[in-house]
Amino acid sequence: MSHLNEHISRVNEKLQLLLKQHHTLLKENIRLKQDLEQIKLSEQTIKEKAAWLQQQVEIAKISSGQAGQEVKSELEKRVNAYIKEIDQCIALLVNQ
């Protein structure tokens, strides 16, 4: 019977160790998920800033007269799209 008790005791110790490791891994998993979320937010912020800076470069080129016809055409398309959106918003407000 003593041998069986020793075996049960060892199994119990190993089970306790596994539970501790499981708990530690759960904590690490939560921390890593939080880190990943922060990195995603940071990446999004960087992408937005890069897009804004690219627009500023295009504006600077246009205002200095260095922009090519393609850039001017793209800017004109964007302005026209914004005007359409504004007109739609005004129409919605008037119809309310």
**pLDDT confidence of residue 73:** 82
**pLDDT confidence of residue 67:** 66
| pLDDT at 3 exceeding the cut of 90 | no
**pLDDT confidence of residue 50:** 96
Separation of alpha carbons 92 and 49, rounded Å: 31
| pLDDT at 37 exceeding the cut of 90 | yes
Show the tokens assigned to 73. Answer: 């055409």
**pLDDT confidence of residue 76:** 84
Residue pLDDT, tens place only, 38-89: 999 999 999 999 999 998 887 787 777 776 777 778 778 888 999 999 999 9
Task: Measure CA of the first residue to CA of the last residue in the chain; give whole Å.
Answer: 86
